[in-house]
Amino acid sequence: MADLNLADPFVRPEEPTAAAAIGAIGDELAVFDDWMDRYGYIIELGRKLPAFPEAWMDDAHRVPGCQSRVWMEAALRGGGLYLAGTSDAAIVSGLIALLLRVYSGRSPREIADTDPVFLKDLGLLEALSTNRGNGIAAMARKIREVAGQ
């Protein structure tokens, strides 16, 4: 778990629940008529992630199973599991932003109860290459594993 004395790289929830975040993401993605516009939107979300400390860009923070390099960190605060993450690929950073919007700041129980099937329901997995789809699924699994500790 992270040292919380550093500048805060953790994502704070925008919506009151994971389900509300999933609904809001679905509404936002539905605005776009084609996947190229959606990709642009997702990339922009990644650019807005809090800065991820370079000291955490190491093997201990790396998420296995991702084609791109992905790093994540978690910290338990006041009953919520707060998450930080980044990638060396712009689209993957955007996908991280979507996952963290759903999961960061939620209780471990809510995280465990929020099945990442929403990624498929929103059409994200089908629109990605197989490797990217596997990577985002690996990130969701990692988040849920950390919540189970």
Report which of 93, 111, 90 is spatially closest to residue 21, judged by C-alpha positions: 111
Token pair 């791109």 in the structure block, residue: 68
Q: In the numeric block, which tokens belong to residue 50? A: 């809090």
Write the DSSP string, 19-69: HHHHHHHHHHHHT-SSHHHHHHHHHHHHHTSPPPPGGG-STTTBPTT-SS-
Count helices and strands in the chain by DSSP H and E runs: 7, 2
Task: Kindly list the catalytic residues.
Answer: 66
Q: For 73, phi and psi rounded to 5 degrees?
A: -145, 155
Alpha carbon distance 120, 86 (integer Å) = 22
1 half-sphere exposure, CB direction, 13 A CA radius: 11
